[in-house]
């Protein structure tokens, strides 16, 4: 069954399995198409009449660059604001007026803000005005990062493609789970998979938030809350490592953490299952030793590149150009 159309993408709540499967299939198709000059030209001709605003007023490397390049792959032209001090917000213009102004010039707003809930606020505004444009949340404070969660799902599915996909897997999440928005969004998507078990490995002060745990309980998704890496490492099918989000510290909380308990190093990597996937949304701190990068289980660089292809798929879906890609015969360009 085809997934329903997508307009705003502000949180992971309404994302169902048919949309996930559709986006993953589309991502694979785009990735394969882009390998050939004919396929790349086909993609470039899909949305040349569309314009995107990249409003990123919180630091970003991967999300900004992958969305920017995803737009360019589809022929979408881009404008950007990367620092609120260069927008009329410094003259006192309200957030709502700024967003409405962007919407006067472009067909989609992709936004990252330090405050939680801003993408939802922008989407609510769009729903009240005569010419609404879609809002894509590219990271909103400490609450959500739904497009990262989608590329994480794609990376997990690819890692387990010969083993039945994500269903039935044991997925560890390690690091700063309280303040890390990627793991929060990813947990919400897990309700779409059967038999998944989650294992949280975090310093007590950075344990997964109660709101996410309540959601998991309500959805009947089993989780272990305060596991020690050394005790569980051999049981995991995937280990999603995150950095300590020190930018949110108010009294040096991160400096209290003993990284040895929350790191993958040459000393413990060998205890992971041979087919396990080590993931990280990046940027990394000391929690993954660079010498682990060559291990076949380390998929975080592939995960980073998957992000660009998944963001192409998201834009195709939002602009309802996905059918053209699904129908395109890959054999015609290979």
Applying CB under 6 A, which residues contact ligand ASP?
139, 145, 181-182, 242-243, 281
Minimum distance from residue 67 beta carbon to ligand ASP (Å): 12
Minimum distance from residue 46 beta carbon to ligand ASP (Å): 28
- The DSSP code for 281 is -
Give the residue closest to ligand ASP by C-beta: 281
Sequence-separated (6 or more) residues with CB below 8 Å from residue 116: 140, 141, 142, 143, 144
Minimum distance from residue 186 beta carbon to ligand ASP (Å): 11
Asked if 309 and 30 count as a contact pair (C-beta separation under 8 A), the reply is yes
Closer Cβ to ligand ASP, 146 or 281, answer by number: 281
Closer Cβ to ligand ASP, 107 or 176, answer by number: 176
Closer Cβ to ligand ASP, 139 or 209, answer by number: 139
Asked if 242 and 175 count as a contact pair (C-beta separation under 8 A), the reply is yes
Minimum distance from residue 43 beta carbon to ligand ASP (Å): 25
Q: What is the largest CA-CA distance in the chain?
A: 59
Closer Cβ to ligand ASP, 271 or 284, answer by number: 284
Closer Cβ to ligand ASP, 87 or 246, answer by number: 246
Minimum distance from residue 63 beta carbon to ligand ASP (Å): 6
d(CA 312, CA 317) in angstroms, rounded, equals 9
Minimum distance from residue 160 beta carbon to ligand ASP (Å): 22
Q: State phi, psi for 165 to the nearest 5 degrees.
A: 70, -155
Residue in 217, 184, 204 with CA at minimum distance from that of residue 253: 204
- The DSSP code for 267 is T
- Around 194, how many Cα atoms within 13 Å sit in the side-chain half-sphere? 1
Sequence-separated (6 or more) residues with CB below 8 Å from residue 165: 156, 157, 193
Euclidean distance between the first and final Cα of the chain, in Å? 28
Minimum distance from residue 143 beta carbon to ligand ASP (Å): 11
Closer Cβ to ligand ASP, 27 or 242, answer by number: 242
Q: Cα–Cα distances in Å, from 89 out to 85, 109, 163?
A: 7, 17, 50
Closer Cβ to ligand ASP, 29 or 181, answer by number: 181
């Amino acid at each position: 069954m085809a997934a329903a159309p997508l307009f705003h993408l502000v949180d992971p709540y309404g994302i169902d399995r048919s949309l996930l499967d559709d986006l993953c299939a589309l991502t694979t198709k785009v990735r394969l198409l882009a390998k050939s000059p004919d396929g790349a030209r086909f993609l470039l001709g899909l949305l040349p009449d569309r314009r995107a605003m990249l409003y990123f007023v919180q630091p970003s490397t991967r999300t900004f660059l992958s969305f920017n390049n995803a737009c360019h792959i589809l022929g979408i032209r881009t404008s950007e604001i990367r620092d609120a001090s260069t927008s009329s917000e410094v003259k006192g213009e309200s957030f709502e007026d700024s967003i409405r102004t962007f919407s006067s010039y472009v067909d989609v707003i992709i936004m990252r803000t330090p405050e939680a809930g801003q993408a939802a606020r922008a989407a609510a505004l769009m729903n009240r005005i005569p010419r609404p444009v879609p809002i894509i949340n590219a990271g909103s404070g400490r609450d959500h990062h739904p497009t990262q969660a989608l590329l994480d799902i794609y990376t997990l599915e690819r890692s387990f493609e010969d083993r039945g996909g994500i269903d039935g897997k044991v997925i560890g999440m390690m690091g700063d789970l309280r303040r890390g928005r990627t793991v929060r969004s990813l947990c919400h998507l897990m309700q779409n998979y059967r038999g998944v078990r989650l294992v949280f490995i975090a310093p007590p002060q950075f344990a997964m938030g109660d709101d996410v745990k309540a959601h998991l309980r309500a959805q009947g998704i089993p989780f272990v809350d305060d596991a020690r890496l050394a005790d569980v490492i051999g049981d995991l099918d995937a280990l999603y490592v995150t950095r300590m989000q020190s930018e949110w510290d108010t009294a040096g909380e991160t400096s209290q953490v003993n990284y040895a308990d929350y790191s993958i190093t040459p000393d413990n990597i060998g205890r992971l299952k041979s087919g396990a996937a080590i993931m990280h949304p990046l940027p990394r701190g000391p929690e993954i030793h660079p010498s682990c990068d060559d291990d076949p289980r380390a998929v975080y660089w592939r995960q980073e590149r998957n992000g660009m292809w998944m963001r192409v798929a998201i834009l195709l879906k939002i602009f309802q150009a996905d059918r053209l890609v699904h129908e395109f015969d890959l054999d015609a360009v290979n």
